[in-house]
Amino acid sequence: MKRLILLSALSLYFLSNALYAQDVPQSQVPSVVVNVFQQNFQKAYDIEWEMDGDRYKIAFETGILGNDHEAWYTSTGKLVKHVEEISKSDLPASVLKNIQTTYNGYQIDDIEKITEGLTVTYKMELESFTQDWKIVCNSNGKTIRKIAD
């Protein structure tokens, strides 16, 4: 009985994976997209391709620490969005300064650098003992969105 449950759980997992994530092997991705991606991110590894609507979503890692990245390409090979996990020290000094003055006493965590075309935004979590925030700010450090967590 236990085995049956395990088996059905496993098959359900794989089935749902196939239905929603729509993983594609790299060999099934158009060459143009692959080549553009490879030129853009030459040091990427652990690459996983997915179909996200009519776009190609690529999850990969870079660096020794394995920073997580996600990139979206159109089928003609245009990079439309790039989300990169960065550390606090990678934040531009002006952004960091702005945030530290605005949210004094908060711990900065889970920073993501989001590039869409030419606009760059940063998404991060701010934690204190009493309140947690999820904020998005622009490249100057000005808060665009703020959600209580």
Partner 1 sequence: MKLANKSLLYLSVSLFVIIGLWSVVFYFNIQYEIKESVDEGLENYKRQIIYRAEKDPSILDKTNFEEGFFAFKPLSAKEALHFKDRYLDTFMYMQDADDTELELEPVRMLTTAFESNGRFYQLKIINSMVEEDDLVGELLEEALALYFILMASIILINNVVLQRVWKPFYSFLHQLKKYRIGHTEEFPTVNTHTKEFVALQKAVHTLLEQNNKTYEQQKKFIGNASHELQTPLAIMTNKLELLLENSSLQPNQAESIAEIMQLVDRLVRLNKSLLLLSKIENKQFLNNQTVSVNEIVRQNLSDLEELAEYKNITISVIENTELTFFMDHAMANIIIGNLIRNALFHNVTNGNISITLYENQLEIRNSGKPEALLSEKIFSRFYKSEPNSAGIGLGLAIIKAICELYAISIEYHFEKQQHLFRLRFK
Q: Identify which of 63, 48, 50 has the alpha carbon closest to the alpha carbon of residue 19.
A: 50
The reply on whether position 89 binds partner 1 by CB under 8 A is no
Residue 115 is encoded by which pair of tokens? Answer: 């590039």
Q: Which of residues 36-65 bind partner 1 (CB under 8 A)?
A: 36, 38-39, 42
CA 52 to mean position of chain CA atoms: 13
Return phi, psi of residue 80, to 5°. Answer: -105, -30
The reply on whether position 34 binds partner 1 by CB under 8 A is yes
Q: Which region, judged by CB under 8 A, interacts with partner 1, from 29-37, 63-71, 103-111, 130-138? A: 29-37
- The nearer residue to partner 1, 2 or 43, going by C-beta atoms, is 43
In whole angstroms, the minimum distance from the beta carbon of 92 to partner 1 comes to 28
CA–CA gap between residue 94 and residue 137 (Å, rounded): 12
Tell me which residues touch partner 1 (CB under 8 A): 26-32, 34-36, 38-39, 42, 75-77
